[in-house]
Amino acid sequence: MGEKAELYRFPLHEELSVFFSQKSNGSPASDTSITDMPYFNYTDYLPGSMDYGFAFQNSDVKNELAVDVTGVHSNNLSGAGTCPVTPNSSISSSSCEANGNVEQGRYKKADKMKLEEEREEDKGDDEDCDKSKKVQKPRKKGEKRQREPRIAFMTKSEVDHLEDGYRWRKYGQKAVKNSPYPRSYHRCTTPTCTVKKRVERSYQDPSFVITTYEGQHSHESPATLRSSNWVTTRNLSAVAPALGRELIMQQLFHPMMGSSSASHPLFGAMENPNIYLPSLPDALSDVPLQ
DNA sequence: CGTCTTTGACCGGCGC
DNA sequence: GCGCCGGTCAAAGACG
C-alpha cells in the first residue's frame, strides 16, 4: 500500500492531564494551557456539520486525540471503538495485508444475505412500496434513526485510509460543504459487523486526516486474530500510541468498564501482558485500570 | 470471475 | 411545504 502516515506517540500522562483536567473543570492543571497548544481547536476544526465533541492535537509532541461524544448522551452506552494503528508503526504492513485476506471472499455473499434478511424483515410493512424506486432500508414511521456513538481521530497522514487492522468496504463518497476534500464512507466487511467509518481530510490543514468510527466491532481485528504476538516488547513503543488512545476512548465512554476493557473484543491486543497500559488521569476513570 | 470502487440518485432529518 | 444536506444504495466499471 505504501502508506506514509506519520507515527504519533501517545500523549504523556501530564499532557493528558492538562487536557482533561481543563476539559472537566475548566481550570488548567499546570502552566500549560490547552489553548497554548498549537493546532488546538474545538468543534470549529471540522467542515460541514460533523458533530465532534472536541478535537485535540499538539504538533510539538506529535500526538493526536480526538473524541466524538455524539450519541454518548443517548441511552446506548454499549460502546464504540476500534483499534487504529498507524501504518508505519513497527507492525509490519505485510502482516496486516495478509491478515486482511481472512475476510476476503466472504463479504459479498454474506453481505447480500444480510441485506436480504433485513429486507425480508421489513417486507410486511413495505409490500406496497414503489418497487421501481431504489430501495433504501425503510424505517417505520415515527421511528427515529438511532445513531451509534462515534469516535473521531485526527491523524497526520499523506494517505486518506489508514490501516487499522480491520477490513473496510467503501460504500459512498460525498463532497463536504466548505471543503475541497470529499468525505468517504466505509463499512466493516465482516458480515455481522455494523461498524462504519468516515474518512475525510481537514480543510484547514490538509495534512490531517479525520477518521470517524461509528459503532462497535462484533469481532476481533483480523490483525490481532492472526498473531497473538502482534504486540511485543520490541514494537511496543510504536503500538502503544494506538492502544493508549483506545484506552482513553474506552475510559471516556465507559468509565465503568475498567479492567474489563482489556478483554473487550475491540482490544484483543491488550490481553498481551507485554503491553504497557499508560495510567490515565483520574478524571477519566472511576475504576482503576488493573 | 470475484471483489472493490465510483458515482448519481434517493431518502430522511432538520431548519426556515 | 420546501430546500438543503448528510448518509446510503446499487448499478456500472475497474482491477487483479
Where are the domains positioned within chain A?
Answer: 150-211
pLDDT-derived band of residue A208, with 50, 70 and 90 as boundaries? confident
Point out the least confidently predicted range of A96-110, A154-168, A218-232, A243-257: A96-110
Q: Which nucleotides of B are covered by protein (CB under 7 A)?
A: 2-14
Instruction: From the CA of A162 to the C1' of C11: give the distance in Å.
Output: 28
Return the bridge partners of A172, or none. A185
Q: In the predicted model, what is the mean pLDDT of residues A96-114?
A: 36
Instruction: From the CA of A273 to the C1' of B12: give the distance in Å.
Output: 47
Residue nearest to nucleotide B11 (CA to C1'): A136
Distance separating alpha carbons of residues A270 and A152, to the nearest angstrom: 21
Percent above pLDDT 70 for chain A: 24
Nearest Cα to Cα of residue A148 among A211, A200, A78: A78
Amino acid at A43: T
According to CATH, the topology of domain A150-211 is N-terminal domain of TfIIb (2.20.25)
What is the predicted pLDDT for the residue at A207? Answer: 83
Instruction: From the CA of A175 to the C1' of C14: give the distance in Å.
Output: 22
What is the predicted pLDDT for the residue at A184? Answer: 92
Q: Are A110 and A191 in contact (CB under 8 A)?
A: yes
A122 Cβ partners below 8 Å, 6+ apart?
A137, A138
Cell triple for A78: 454499549
The HSE-up count of residue A94 (CA atoms within 13 Å, CB side) is: 0
pTM for the whole structure: 0.53
Q: How confident is the prediction for chain A on average, in pLDDT?
A: 49
pLDDT-derived band of residue A59, with 50, 70 and 90 as boundaries? very low
Distance separating alpha carbons of residues A47 and A126, to the nearest angstrom: 37
Percent above pLDDT 90 for chain A: 3
Quick check: A157 pLDDT over 60? yes
Distance separating alpha carbons of residues A17 and A53, to the nearest angstrom: 18
Q: In the predicted model, what is the mean pLDDT of residues A263-281?
A: 33
Residue nearest to nucleotide C4 (CA to C1'): A177
Instruction: From the CA of A208 to the C1' of C2: give the distance in Å.
Output: 37
Distance separating alpha carbons of residues A103 and A131, to the nearest angstrom: 32
Amino acid at A179: S
- The residues close to strand C, meaning Cβ under 7 A, are A 48-50, 115, 134-137, 171-174, 176-177, 183, 185, 196, 198
Quick check: A133 pLDDT over 80? no
Cell triple for A32: 500549560
Quick check: A42 pLDDT over 90? no
